[in-house]
Chains A and B, each alone.
Chain A
């Protein structure tokens, strides 16, 4: 019996040592250094599908690195905040759905990092959500945290209805002002850290399909969600809100919340022009809308 336990412990320690070694090595490679003229992108699926990385690179002449992931959560954001170099130029999207997404549904696929975990642990983040972070983070990091390529959703004449409106309705009805407030607090904390790192941020809000926008505007949470813009602006002395429209005869949405490749292409062209004009000198929040 004692031999069995002794050998089991030996193996466990041996395995953990090897795993930790590989984990640290890959993490170093994972966050390899990036050139100085770079733009970093962070957000959830809206920005993953909403920006054409190649087009942005061509139009701005900068290297584009995206840490945006589908369903990304607050831990992903803190990991991004920690990983992005000082004085970076960042395009940031904290979508409304990110603010109302329950902790347990957040993807949080970023590798384990003690300082980011500590921030989460010291907040009111749920135990189940925290367990998810650990479970996903234990996997060895996949090569390249910052992506330079992204597959966009294909064009279709009509939107894909894989997620029906009642599901969004349920999502809105389940969320409370307190929950949104708590999520916004956590994101603002992250934004403050980016400001402390002298990062220049461009915020962006992506369009929703008009049926979803109508639904969302009728909810009691609408006001609470709009407060986020105000809270972000309060962090800056010089803050601008710029609304622009996507003009096209074609359908630019893939589904209720994501642009398709045509929509992403048009949006990226306009965004690149505006970025080139301002060069991140004035912190701007772009609110993108679709023409009726």
Chain B
């Protein structure tokens, strides 16, 4: 079920009604409603993979209880490794088995040995990378004694399968999210209104920005030989805003929906395209994943408190893992490698913590230096997205070769140029709105003394009109595939 579908528009009010009116103040019943509705939400895509979520839930629930009751270091470590192996094993089987098998066969064929092996005819279960990492965070935190295990299976199942963030995150930490399933939840009017506003903004980013950008990005990337270098730059730009609108839009809808049910989910994007260096970008892009890698891999490896070479090793490890987390394709590997290279330079020059504040804090506009840094970082990010979007490595290099040809200086030769211009204007509107409200979680978090009800409703109507009348071609959320 997609967030931008009629099905979800019917599903959400129904669950809302059951949750607040039928379950009322009964916490257990509320959690039970969350579990059943989440399983329904997921099962409508493919009910067979519900067994995977259930399996993962049972394993981590029981391992966590055993971890807590055991004092022996060896047994605790053994239990943790069982949890890691099962979770990563499932992920590996569904996501990486065919990829590594193909590469294995190709490598042996290269040295003249023919290996016969059958690849698996399987589809990737939706959201497996997200809920796997979420349950892993639970067992690791129990192992590190940062959290007590829960004895409430339903609450734990609700934590794993919570439908707003089940299939594309944000990846919530058990330390932050699980306790919310044990606390009594009461309806809060301001929270619910804010949730609705964030859902609206998320839908705008997904339906109007991402889906319209996707139309152009797909045409240009799929037929890049037919276009000039300047048009290919436009294609890369469209993809950059497609992926931003798509993923941050999804996160906004997830966060907003959670608020309607009385939950708080952490922000996943904080104006990443206004970052002044790549370190800042990674503190602001897909925050839940980058902080996961930071806390569970980078820091245990020594982080940046080790010698120069080890520091670089750690950076490469997390970026390459992050790249493969996105998918089993060498294009992601190159994308991760590019980011690791850039990040390493910043780390070695000790500039990685230069920009911890919000851009243009206490000012209306950023200064010239910040603007130059923002543009440079953005250019690098757009450049690396080419690898992320390309079908394979040769496609990416061929795309780049066309960009850096004579045709770079020609006028973009895109059909439906008018539509593309409208789309660019809307991107600018989105960026300006987000920049002006950069200290807030989303642009529709109005200061109600400045924005009267009439003005607020006018803004809502304009956004809904755009969503209904200017949608792009309906696309699946990009991050569903991860």
Binding site for B on A (CB under 8 A): 1, 3-4, 7-8, 11, 14-15, 18-19, 131, 135, 138-140
Can you list 20 A-B pairs, Cβ within 8 angstroms, ordered by A? A1-B20, A1-B189, A3-B189, A4-B187, A4-B189, A4-B192, A4-B193, A7-B193, A11-B457, A11-B460, A14-B457, A15-B460, A15-B461, A19-B465, A19-B468, A131-B6, A135-B6, A138-B468, A139-B469, A140-B468
Q: Enumerate chain B residues within 8 angstroms of A1, measured Cβ to Cβ.
A: 20, 187, 189
Q: Enumerate chain B residues within 8 angstroms of A14, measured Cβ to Cβ.
A: 457
* A contact patch SS: helix
Q: B464 at interface (Cβ–Cβ under 8 A)?
A: yes
CA–CA, A138 and B20, complex, Å:
31
Interface flags for B264-279 (1: CB within 8 Å of A; 0: not) read 0000000000000000
Interface flags for B439-482 (1: CB within 8 Å of A; 0: not) read 00000000000000000010011001100110000000000000
Q: Enumerate chain B residues within 8 angstroms of A4, measured Cβ to Cβ.
A: 187, 189, 192-193
CA–CA, A139 and B196, complex, Å:
22
6 closest Cβ pairs, A-B complex: A1-B187, A139-B469, A4-B192, A140-B469, A4-B189, A3-B189
Q: Is the CB of B468 within 8 A of A139?
A: yes
CA–CA, A3 and B192, complex, Å:
11
From 309 to 343 in chain B, residues with beta carbon under 8 angstroms from any chain A beta carbon are none
CA–CA, A19 and B466, complex, Å:
12
CB distance from B18 to the nearest CB of A (A): 14
CB distance from A241 to the nearest CB of B (A): 38
Q: Enumerate chain B residues within 8 angstroms of A135, measured Cβ to Cβ.
A: 6
CA–CA, A8 and B196, complex, Å:
10
CA–CA, A190 and B307, complex, Å:
80
- CB closest chain-B residue, reference A134: B6
Q: Enumerate chain A residues within 8 angstroms of B189, measured Cβ to Cβ.
A: 1, 3-4
- CB closest chain-B residue, reference A140: B469
Q: Enumerate chain A residues within 8 angstroms of B461, measured Cβ to Cβ.
A: 15, 18
- CB closest chain-A residue, reference B21: A1
In addition to A4-B192, A15-B461, 15 A-B residue pairs with Cβ atoms within 8 Å of each other are: A1-B187, A1-B189, A3-B189, A4-B187, A4-B193, A11-B457, A14-B457, A15-B464, A18-B461, A19-B465, A131-B6, A135-B6, A139-B469, A140-B465, A140-B468
CA–CA, A11 and B189, complex, Å:
15
- CB closest chain-A residue, reference B415: A151
Interface flags for B186-213 (1: CB within 8 Å of A; 0: not) read 0101001100100000000000000000
CA–CA, A132 and B460, complex, Å:
25
CA–CA, A226 and B253, complex, Å:
52
- CB closest chain-B residue, reference A139: B469
From 91 to 136 in chain B, residues with beta carbon under 8 angstroms from any chain A beta carbon are none
CA–CA, A8 and B200, complex, Å:
13
Q: Enumerate chain B residues within 8 angstroms of A15, measured Cβ to Cβ.
A: 460-461, 464
CB distance from A230 to the nearest CB of B (A): 39
